[in-house]
Structure formats: structure tokens, C-alpha cells
Chain A
Amino acid sequence: MPAGLFRALLTVAGAVAAIVLAIGISSVAIVAVGASPADAFAAFLNFGATEKAVSTSIADMLNRAVTLFIAGLAVAIGFRMNLFNIGVEGQYRIAAICAAFVGSTFVAPAPIQITVIIIVAAAAGGLYALIPAVMKVTRGVNEVISTIMLNYIAINLAAFLVRGPFAGERAEGQLTTSTPVLPESAWFPNVNALLEMFGLPAPRGDGLWGFLIVAILLGVGIWLVLERTRFGFEVKASGLNAPAALASGVDPKRMVISAMVLSGAVAGLIGLPEILGDEHAFGSNFTPGLGFLGIAVALLGRNKPAGIAVAALLFGFLDRAQGPLQFADVPPSVITIMQGTIVLLVVIANEITSRIALRREERRAAQALGRNTPVEVAA
């Protein structure tokens, strides 16, 4: 078996073992709060009684997964070169409000309108990530600290902008403020047709966000960049061994700037599925916390797009059960416990499986060497 395939299979086996173990640990937590694990797991699998309800549940899960997937990608780009962009949270909020506001200021044909909004979002996220990148290469400021600080600034700045300069008209009796509503040409069409292909009726509400398609293309694109291009190779080399990358002609400053900006640009897109597909504005009740969840998703997915997709789907699956869990009298915080234990256990499983893989390769290398051992002890 080729070494690469063996490593991949081992990784999957480790992840499955970790998830099984996490279900076990979560059961203990569920019992401890006086609920029934059987009820809880039934709730996770309960997608609703009618076809319409099932369809809506699936759309909810996929919609959640789309945003988490993009968030995971953004974090993973930095992680691949040991650059800890904790600032995805702030970058996506700044980008979301800028894109929502700019998109509401003009009307153009839908493809142009949407493209402009996407570009504005990516640019805003990328520029906001440029700040910690420049601080790191010029003054050596640790990006973890600077991005965390910039998160606070971004969150409060977005809150200020949505109430002040970027605020739209507030409808009578509405408690929240938001940016002006986007023209209809910026409304991303849903892809309920995908569900219908599987014989499911259109879900309630806004349906399955069309941004799913963009996210898939983005995932493929990021995979190509990271795994197949020279830039991706330099990212990997910088992450695995910075002095060796330097000696091989990789400019570390350029790498920090470009990886950080790319990470921020992808982060800028996290809010768009919701804005373009559902809310059609950035409101004060805009979904928070996706950037932080993205860190967990990237860890779980081992910083690889395919892995991140699986992790995002898993998190989306768990998050969807908010409602059913409450109906089943199980505290929904069980979801957080499960997500936490899964991430922890997967990190442990990764460590174990990579050691197993290494030991196997060392043995195989030793066999190859064994053709005329022992060279070392000829004396």
C-alpha cells in the first residue's frame, strides 16, 4: 500500500474512533444533567415528521455547514504555515457590514451586483487581516495577540457602523437596526432544486442557500492552491520548517503577508451566504461566533479542504438539533459539549495515528536499508 494512502486511511480511522468515543463521553454528560442519552440521540436524528420538515432540517444543516466550511477554510490557510489567524471572527464581521452596505448603494444586473459584493467582502476581510500581517513582519508582533485585539475593534466597529453611518431605515416596531436592504439583484437565488432532485419538497423559509455552490467552488480552489501550486508548496514548507524554507529561497515576510491576506479574504466571505441568501442586510442580530467555530472546524478537518467539509457538515448536523433537543427536554448545550469533545479527541487521535504511520514508515525504510546492513557495525 502506498505510504500516502495508508496515512489517509489511518487518519479516517482515527477520526471515526474519536467521534464514537465523543458520543460515549457526551452520553455521560447527558446522564449527569438528568436527561436520557437515547432521547438526545433520537433528537439528533429526528429531522421532522413531514417531508417538508425533513427538507427544512436538511437545508438548515447545510446552510450552517456552508458558513462553517468557509470559516474553516479561512482559518486553515493560516494554520498551514503555523500562522494563527484568530482574527477570522473580526474579519468576517467587518467584511460583512462593508459588503452589505456597498451592495445597497447601487443597482446592477444580478451577476455584476453579486460579484461586486463578493469582491468588496473579500477585499475588506483581506485588508483587515493585512494589519496584523504588517505588524508581524515589521515589528514582530505576535499575530495571535494582535488578531484577538483586532477582533474587539472589529466587533465594536461593526456595531457602531450598523447603528450610525451604515444604518438603513428602521421599520415601525422593529427592535434591531440593520444596513439598508439590498436590491433584489443582490439576492442570491436558492438551490432548492438540489433537494428536489432527491424527491424532497422545497423547504420552508429561504431554503437552501445558493452560496453553497460558491462555497464548493471556493473549497476546490483553495485545495488546488494549497496542494498543487508553488504558493501552496511554499505555505507548506514555511509551516513545516521555517529555517529550511528560508534557506530554500522562500521569503518569510512575503509568505506571512500573502497567507494572512488570503486567509482574511476568505474570512470576508463567511457572512455572505446569510446576507445574500437570507437577511439581505447586515443587522445587529447577525450570526456571531462563526470565526471562532471556524478554528474548531479547521482543527477537526486537519487543515485540508475535504476534511474541513466533513467537519463543517458534522458541526452543521449537531447545530441543527437545537430545536429537537429542547423538545426532547435535553439542554441544547449538549451540542457544545459534543463539539468540544470531538475536537479534543480528534487532536489526540491525530497525534496517535501520525505516530503509528511514522513507525510503520521507519520500519519500511529500515527494511529497504536492510539490503546490506549492518553498514554501521562492520568493525
Chain B
Amino acid sequence: MASEKITSGGKPIAMLKVLNPFHIWALGVGIVLVGEFMGWNFTVGKGGAYASLIACWVIGLLYTCVAMIDSEVTSTVAAAGGQYTQAKHLIGPLMAFNVGLYLVMAYTMLCAADALVVGDLMKSGAEVMGYANLDTKPFVVLTVAFLAWLNYRGVFATLTLNLVITFLAFLSLIVLFFAVDPLHQGVVLQHQALLTDLPYGWIGVIASLQFGMWYYLGIEGTCQAAEEVRSAGRSIPLGTMGGMMTLLVAATITWFVATGLMPWQYLGQAVTPMYDAATLLGSSQLQLMLFVATAFAAIASANGCINDASRAWFSLARDRYMPVFFGAIHPKYRTPYRSVLFLVPIAVSFAFTGLLDQVITFSILSGLLGYTFMTFNMIKFRKMWPLGSIHRGYIHPFHPIPAITLLTLCCATYFATFLGYGASLLSIMAFYILASIWFVVRRYKYVKRADQFTMPWPRPKGY
């Protein structure tokens, strides 16, 4: 189904259906893989190395639930906007507005963090070559501007680039894993000497769940391309579940290598831990490879984030939840070009604030709020349209266990964020509460009621 959009010229036009499961894999893994190169290690800082491993697997379970739920709902509600469109059809306009904002904020902030990493990496590289104090700002601007240009020109080229560089970045983790001689402890890896007990006890394990999300944050972004895949029922579940498997392997390798090479106190605060790991091995080839791979991972992530944030912003505007000016599609390239361009200066300005931990926490919390929504969404979906009442591209097993598990783990992660980042949590909640009040009082009057339900389904049960 190709839904109709209005271009700037007023001519009805639709986005192109050109993507396959590999592009979906590249979109999901591309956004997330940077998390294996930086950011995941803050779990070590919050609870120690073992806490990080526990967070890796517990949050892996959270994301497996997310992937299962998302695959069913997205393969049924196949439209741009992903979870936003789902909320519109299953919960209501205010929830949809909030979910749209979660997506825009999570991806734009993540894009800003990625651009910062590219800048910092260039500075490190320049230092190795003897150029100290390189200004990172031009690299931040160049990265975002180049990727925005790619996104402006077309989704196929954008995600094909992601497919290539994501695969190369993933490959570098495998090469690093074999380079450390993983079967022989004490030769290169020193887990016996470097792994300590839990430095904060079990409360540290819970606290580490917050940054544990960084191992996988953004995999749910696969849903944003639902309107541009050739077969949503096949491509979305295959690409998303395949992506989760890839990330579980990558996260475990990353933890294993890094904790066997660095003291946890260093690792817990490192900006580019995998590049540091390669540096410790004393091989210039490995160091160069991880330099390039970290840059590729950050670029792939920023690329996917621009793609997803612009689609979410575009969807909000198309439905008049946000100014309708942004709801246009380019007549030639068939991309939401105004949304793409609008988000460029915003991502750059977030990056320029230099508040990396605030930016990351905003991104993580926006994601977490979105996952909490998914639990209500799934329960209502099965209740309002029971199995057999509408066509589903994919049906996830064991319902409602994944939804209940997801809600439980979300609550644990809110508590984890409260431990150490309580003020940020309240501040970000204040943003979403004020934005919700603003939507109810001011924006909702611009929304066409009946247009909020476009699926060819029967009337929902209970309504």
C-alpha cells in the first residue's frame, strides 16, 4: 500500500518501495553498532565489568521483546513513522504525538553524539600524526551535512552506504576478537587479573542497565522504513531479528575483548574504548583498522538517525501534529526533504553544546519511554483486533509474556536512570509533560480527526 503525500507543488506522490531485508538489517544495525564502539562502556563505570555483562544480556532480553512486538505491529501497520503510526491507530493522538517526539529526540540526539565521536576521533588521529589541538567542530558539521545530503538525495543510496560500512565495522570487531587470541587466557587477554568483584554491589548492576541500552539503542528504527520496503511482512521481521542476533554477538565480543585489556575504572570512562583496545595491542594495522571502523560505525549510525528522525518528523507534520510545512516529499527524489534539512542545524547545535552525557541520557530516556509505550500498544492491539480479525504480516509467539517482560525491564531501567541521573530524568519528563499539555491545548485543534485512522481494518473492539 502506498499512502499518498502532498509535495510542495500540491501533486499527490508516494515514497519509493525499494528496500529489502538486508537494507532493514543495515538500517537497524547501522544505527546501533556505534554503541559497541563507544558508550556501552559507561555500564562498566556505573557497576563494574561483570555488571556490564549482566546489563548486556538483561537489556538484550528487553530489546528481544521490543523486536518481537515491533515485528508484529509494524508488519501489520506498514507506514512511515513506525511506532508513531502504530500509536495513532491503536492508542490515540496524544500518545502518537509523544511517540513521534520520542523518535525525533532519540535519533537527533544520537546523531549529535555520533557526530561528536567522529570529531573526537579525528582529533585523536591528528594527535597520533603530530597535530595537537585539532578543532573538532568542522568535522561535526561536515559529517551531518554530508549525510543529510545523502538522505536528501534518496533512501536507496543512503541505506546501501549503511549496508557496506556497517558490515565493514562489524567485520573489524570479529578481526579484533581473533587478534587477541581469545582461547588462551594470559597471553593477550588478562581477565583473571583485570576482572574485579562488583564494586558497587548489586545496586551497581541495576544502575548499569541505563547505559546497557546503548548496546542496542535504535534497533527499533527498522520500523521507520516500513513504507519503503518491498514486502513489510517479510523484510521487517527478518531484518530486525537478524539485527538483534548480530548485535548480541557484537556486544558480547566487545565486552570480552575490552574487559580483558583495560582496568574497569579506565574502561568505564573511555570515549573510544575499542580504538584504545587496538592501541594497547601495539599493532599499527589494528589501530588503523579500529580508527576507520569506529568512524564508519559513527557515520552509519548518524546516517540511520537522520533517516529515521526525518521520517518521524515528516509523519508528525503530515498529520498536522507539527507544522504542516515539514510534511512535503521531494518531487524528484521522493524523500521528506524539508524534514531532513530542518534537522541538520538542530543535530549540529546539540553536538555543539558539548553536553555529551546529557545528550546521550536524553536519547536513552526517549527510547525508554517509547519501549514503555510498546507494552500498552501490544496489549491493546491484540485486544482490539484479536488474531484472525485482520491480516498480520507476522505473529509473535508467547503473547503477553514479551509485553509483561518488557514493562518490567523498562521499570528497572527507569530506576537505573534515577541512580545517578535523577535530575536529568525529571527534567526530560518535564519536557514531555509540557509538550503534551501544549499539544492538547494548542495543536490538537489543527488535527483532522478521521484522517488519524487510515488502515483498512474493521472497527476496533470496545470502541
Chain B associates with chain A: no
A-side residues, CB < 8 A to B, are none
